[in-house]
Structure 1
Amino acid sequence: EPQTHDEVAKLARTTNETLTALEASVDRQRRFVADASHELRSPIASLRTQLEVGEAHPELLDVPGAVADTVRLQQLAADLLLLARLDAGEQAGRTRLDLAALVREEVSQRSTDRIPVTADVRGSVEVAGSRGQLARVLGNLLDNAQRHAAGEVRATVRREGGQVVLAVADDGSGVPETERERIFERFVRLDDARSRDDGGAGLGLAIARDVAHRHGGTLEVGRAEAGGALFELRLPAAGRDPERPVPTGASALGAAPAQVLGDRRE
């Protein structure tokens, strides 16, 4: 870069900044593809082994295990497709929906959870967006709480000025303050000792934050009164024109989703 302040120097600096951003995007894409391949390899290998054993010795076929691996693959594929859509810049819908009613409905369908979810939700609070994507956020937060809670999971919805706040809290060990941003990165699992089947692929919280940003909101984690994690999703109340900030780590796939995952859309 020329040590001047003319147009040539500005052009050189702008070009270098653009190339640096492109290089970082390519690096994120490569890491994402490598991580996704690693996550897919384990259930595929397990499923293939079970089917080969079943072919040679039908009496030894572990049907429940094969079904579990298939479900895991299906969930992982759905998560990867949703991330690809978000990275491609898909905007949330503008449908008005009652977030309180959504929480009540989703919680009522989780009767088989390890820990019953307590829903402290009253009245009606409306937001604008995609019902399916917001239900995915709630489901991911509740799944995360179920994995770490000792005996309590609580979901609440409240209105704060021009915002609607959905909070999910548990009484587990919580999230260390130094890790509270890292947990929203893709394929991150703080407890490396836990099994992949129990811990998931590490995409749930990344998806939840991306969806929150696409709805003009935020998703943060803190400490719950019971000592565990407290996740708070804040969304503009319906009737406001939400700003749409660019999600942290956006375009991690760049133009790759269609190449890596195909052109299929959910």
Structure 2
Amino acid sequence: MYAGKSMRQKDGKNFLTDNNIANNIIKAANLEKYDEVLEIGPGKGILTKIIQLQVKYLTAVEKDKILSQQLNHYFSFHGARNIKIINADFLKYNIPNTELKIISNLPYNVGTAIIQKILPLKHWTTAVFMLQKEVTQRLVAQPGSKAYGYISIFTSYYTDCKILFDVSSRCFSPPPKIISSVIKLTNKASEPTDPVFFDFVKHAFKTRRKTILNCLSSFKNLEKSKAAHILNACALDPFLRPDKLSIPDFLRLIDETRKHIIYSV
């Protein structure tokens, strides 16, 4: 099980070695004997070896060819029939359309990309991830906080999420220079939203120091008077910054804007 970008050195990897942490991560997923589980980046298998004994079926996707071969050898030697090790880049992997729980120590350099791939899917139920602490803080951030941004809104739209506990660098070999945190996400199975919603949120936070009036005006080249009219209809102060708006605020804003212009999505 490997760590993130700043936890994966150029000439090596930082593997979780603390069995207590491993057991606490798995415990957080509330595994049952009938569960099917997807593990992303099993590495040396500290989680994999525990999960496999507790569930109906486990699929583990490992990008590193040598590590995947070692895991295949281990589970073949022990006669495990309820596990499949897949040597693949998860971002290119087609996730099975079956009810899943997901567990992973996400690599930091692609952690948010993996999260954005998984969260819109409706067939997973629970996900327990370990990430760099500052990343987990962005995932759970609320309006008005410094960490609040696009990924906070994306995560909150699709899930209920909370940080469970921190993981010291001493729990890895070799020890990284950062602290990790474990986060639990529960799927809301939200309906797909207007694609313009996330486009606008992303645009707004690229210019987060601008007022929401300027963000809306520049998004589709609206006249400021029209943008001001839309904000007034939404009961939103045009001089607010994007980081003060909640998900309902953004949704209301996009819904009202749709009444005024036709988007080319």
TM-score interval (norm. to shorter): under 0.3
Structure ranking higher in helix proportion: 1
What TM-score results when the alignment is normalised by the length of structure 2? 0.26
TM-score (norm. length: structure 1)? 0.26
Query: Relative contact order: is structure 1 or structure 2 higher (C-alpha 8 Å, sep ≥ 6)?
Result: 1
